[in-house]
Amino acid sequence: MTDSEFSDKKILQSWETNAAPWTRAIDTGEIVSRKLVTDAEIVAALLEHWPGSVLDIGCGEGWLGRVLAAHGVHVWGIDATAALVETARRRAGPLETYRQVSYTALESGYPGRHFDALACNFSLLGKESVEQVFASAPRLLKGRGRLVVQTLHPAAACGDAPYRDGWRPGSWAGFGSGFSDPAPWYFRTIASWVELFQRHGLKRVTLREPLHPETGQPASLILVGSRAS
């Protein structure tokens, strides 16, 4: 993979290509770690303070929004991939609203609206686009609102590469059949994730490390950030 293929733009192109197999993988439960651990963990982290409203950033086909809405939460979801947004809309209930909005246009997508929580469930893959989400987060959150991020655990995802921030080639291993053109992703250390929260005014950061019940290894890293006040 050449340097030009490590970019936020390449990530979007990959998701446009893989929208259909992704939706099928979610519908059929092909991603084992999600069934065993990570789906339940992000739902629990979001519902811990019983939010009335959640903005699901990178909502995909809308599975998380539907689960939260079943608990009475008003959910707004955004994603840059048109096919995924259309699927989310078709399946949405009365408490769900989905729009095609890029991360760079996050604030203009919901002007004047503030949320109890922002959810980013394995949806922060790039570099500049992720930094834009964090820059926008304080202006989208209510005073006691929280930004909840679930991502690959850096210690588990680092592999044999040096433990430092940087672009990595992607892979669809473990995602089921039908996927192609894997997206690159921008690796961040735990310290780098925490610094990203704190640099944008979310200075109270808590960490969770859900363990895979079969391997005993970290299945993900969940970071929850809020203002210190």
Q: Is residue 218 a contact partner of residue 155, using CB atoms and an 8 Å limit?
A: yes
Cα angle 17, 33, 150 (rounded to 5 degrees) comes to 75
CATH number of the domain that 33 lies in? 3.40.50.150
Total domains in the chain come to: 1
User: What pLDDT score does 229 carry?
Assistant: 58
Give the tokens for residue 46.
Answer: 């979001």
Task: Give the C-alpha distances (Å, rounded to integers) separating 166 from 2, 7, 134, 186.
Answer: 14, 11, 18, 6
Contacts of residue 16, defined as CB under 8 A and 6 or more positions apart, other chains included, come to: 81, 82, 83
Alpha helices, H only, 48-127:
63-70, 82-91, 106-109
| Residues of the domain holding 27 | 3-226
Q: Is residue 220 a contact partner of residue 38, using CB atoms and an 8 Å limit?
A: yes
DSSP code at position 60: T
User: What pLDDT score does 109 carry?
Assistant: 80
Beta strands in the chain (DSSP E): 53-57, 74-79, 96-100, 115-121, 141-151, 166-168, 185-187, 204-208, 221-226
User: What pLDDT score does 227 carry?
Assistant: 86
Cα(175)–Cα(82) distance, integer angstroms? 21
pTM, two decimal places: 0.95
Q: Is residue 79 a contact partner of residue 100, using CB atoms and an 8 Å limit?
A: yes
Q: Is residue 92 a contact partner of residue 70, using CB atoms and an 8 Å limit?
A: no
pLDDT tens for each residue of the chain, 229 residues long: 444 467 899 999 999 999 999 999 999 999 999 999 999 999 999 999 999 999 999 999 999 999 999 999 999 999 999 999 999 999 999 999 999 999 999 988 888 899 999 999 999 999 999 999 999 999 999 999 999 999 999 999 999 999 999 999 999 988 888 999 999 999 999 999 999 999 999 999 999 999 999 999 999 999 999 986 5
